[in-house]
Structure 1
Amino acid sequence: MVGNADDRVYYVISDLHIGGDEQLEEVEFLDELLGFLERLERTDEDAELVINGDAFGLWEFTAVEGTEKFDVLEETYPELFEQLRATGENVPVTLLPGNHDHELAAYEEYVERFDEYNVELVQTESMVRPVGDYAIHFEHGHQRDPNNRIENWGDPDATPLGYYYNTLVTSRAGQLSHRGRYNWLKDVQAVTPTERMPVWLFSKYFYREMNPLLRYALVPFLLLFNVSAALAVFAGLDLIGVWSIPVEWITAFLGRFGAAGTVIWFLLWINVAVAGLLLLVGIPLHFLRRDIRKTIDRFGVFETELTVDAEAPYEEAAREVFDERPETAVFCYGHTHRPSVQAVGEGLVVNSGTWLKRLHRRDGVIGLLPPVFYPSYQLCAVRIAAGSEGVVVRYEAIEKPSPGTEELTLTERLLTLGRRPDPELPDRAVAQGELTVSAPEAAE
């Protein structure tokens, strides 16, 4: 156990990714964040706010170096820093570095600068806090990710693979985003896992950047591709004399509509011809692609988050922490941007999610149209406190409307009718001698 019972309540947020080059300066949830901090400024609870990594996007700054980035943050977000100062006068505010703001662990000056705003910067990889008779283990989580692991913690020149992605791709997106027909490229930070980047880029090109006349000319063909592919098969069977009934039935049906039916028949057969050619090429390419994929999987080459369980490293890490320190009831991390609660042994593994926009892939039901990435927000704070049942973990939602209406084209909205995402935060969970997970209830 961790000494005497502690009645302190912990509020945990992470992955704000505030700051960056040009268009990345925009913080779309700033009003909601200020409101949350103002609430803690007025609370009567014995509370502590833990910002569990990636509060700031320091990797996304390419024009300034070192602690000069703090100067830029102060100048760009004066309201936020003044609110941190005010909140910190009422409740302790603790900041852990993540991978995007690992530089906070590299310069002692950052500790002094944040202290001026009543924020305690902890420059270690992790920290422990007491909760009742138990303990909470906090870490951002990137040390369990081989692409973002910092081998020499506190080294200002640490550059894991993720560093290059963010300085070369994310920062560049922030610099170029305003050149698009719509300022969408800055949302590159919301694309997770990053393996979906090519599909997302193609989707946004098709629905946002493609010449509208070309897009609207392609849409009917792409929508009718499945029908055309079936007709191409029927036409082939008719030509070789195997089965002519489907073609005869379609011809007779469209003939009832006179000239309109003739036009439809003409357009349909153009689609059939193109679909037939694509099928002839596509079938052998499909088998070739499948064989290549099997070979890649067999050798473990290009193994990514799409083929590996992204949560597995954190479950394993939590087991190690629970074994080494049996008093630990909660292993709390961020990094993956996916709010979740999992029971591991007698403890809970808790992910605090992100305040960035989330993109939900919606594949087309028919045709070959690119998938739509529907945007939403899932802003939340994780509340961890000791209760009569044990250590209680509960997610508190911070409401922010979905930006889908403003950010999606008419075509995208039509294709996602009835398929709008409605992400739900995890249910209330309790860690104690025996773990229970139940539906949300009122605060303890």
Structure 2
Amino acid sequence: MSQKTFTEKEIKILNKNPYVKKVSEKSITYSDEFKQLVVLQIAESKTPRMIFEQAGFDVDIIGMKRIEAAASRWKKAYRMSGILGLKDTRQTNSGRRLNRALTDKEKTAKLEAKMKLLEAENEWLKKVYLNGKGVTQVVKSLTTAQKYELIRQVIERFNLTGVIHYFCDTLNVSRSGYYRYFSESAKYHRLKREEDDLKVRDVILNVFHRRGYKKGSRQIKMTLENEMGIIYSLKRIRRIMRKFDIICPHRKKNPYKKIVKATEEHRVVPNRLNREFRQEVPGKVLLTDITYVYYGKGQLAYLSTILDGSTNEILSYHISDHLKMPLVTETIEKLFRNKRIPLHPEAFIHSDQGAHYTSPTFQNLLKKKGLGQSMSRKGNCWDNAPQESFFGHFKDEALLKECQNLEELKREIKRYMMYHNTARYQWNLKKMTPVGYRNHLLDAA
């Protein structure tokens, strides 16, 4: 709004114009006919200055800034609501305070209206809190939009008048914001945004269930960019997921516990990795571990894997229904049968201090294969963090509970390993898949 004020002489001059309804020191109220005239003549390529001058206004008195702002405001209102958008509704929709003191009857009516509003607010909070399905989230207060909706509902339900300002003060919201929220232009924008959100939701859901595995927001963003050429910001994806209750898997605490205490013949070796997992050399840092896998109706199996620390690629894995030594030794044998990438001359296996890895059988096998060995510090899972992280994502995303027997479990794990290596984009791998990042490192070498 222009900061220019009118003198008494200028007010008298402006009041003589038939297109003016009212003039104060800071504002002018124009007739609805003049607003329509301005909009129609702008459509005929006339400038606001020309229209005001032809209507008998002194442009120097009003100021071009005020003229251009008024013309722009009327054009927008006409575009959104037509002729109705140009009508002055302040007399019919006023929520201004009364200048006189309220009578006892009016005071009682206002208190009753306030009680109705607060009762309605409590009912609304219960609906939001329960969401019709049971408790979904803790809601401490309503959003501003919900408060506006609540005020409108109470006014219509009890046929109240002259309480908008009072209700807005009660719920600590803006009165002008209330009118703006229910304007035609605001309704149009909300409807358009809702339509846009539904389209984005459908795209996200398509990726969310892609290849049968649920994904988080970062996985969705990378898949959209790499496979569909669609770029959405993380903030937008997360907003849509929250709005439509698209819940990604959350990793639970790893249930892995010590298998057995190492006997005296078992030997612990030093930690030569020291958390330097990402050495940008494929086939050098090999991380290994064992995890429990529950499937079907409480059935239990064990999974041993070897993960490349530089690329997060699963190089070898073995599944068994028991915890005997072949679980880890067969994983090593499979590693050397995997000819996809050569191992580095200084390659070494890093593990925790579990009984399998401190066993003479396992350590002698590594020496025979020419692999070095490294171990995490006792009870420190962070020293083997990438491997632990893989197990967490694997258990969240793989469809393990749908498997009814060990053969079905093996097929599902094989399918997931292929997905992880070739189709699961990772934020810390320059948004590439493990295989893609491995090829990238080999090309750059």
TM more than 0.5: no
TM-score norm. by structure 1 comes to 0.20
TM-score norm. by structure 2 comes to 0.20
Of the two structures, which has the highest relative contact order with CA contacts closer than 8 Å and spacing of 6 or more?
A: 1
Q: Whose helix fraction is larger, Structure 1's or Structure 2's?
A: 2
Larger radius of gyration: 2
Q: Whose strand fraction is larger, Structure 1's or Structure 2's?
A: 1
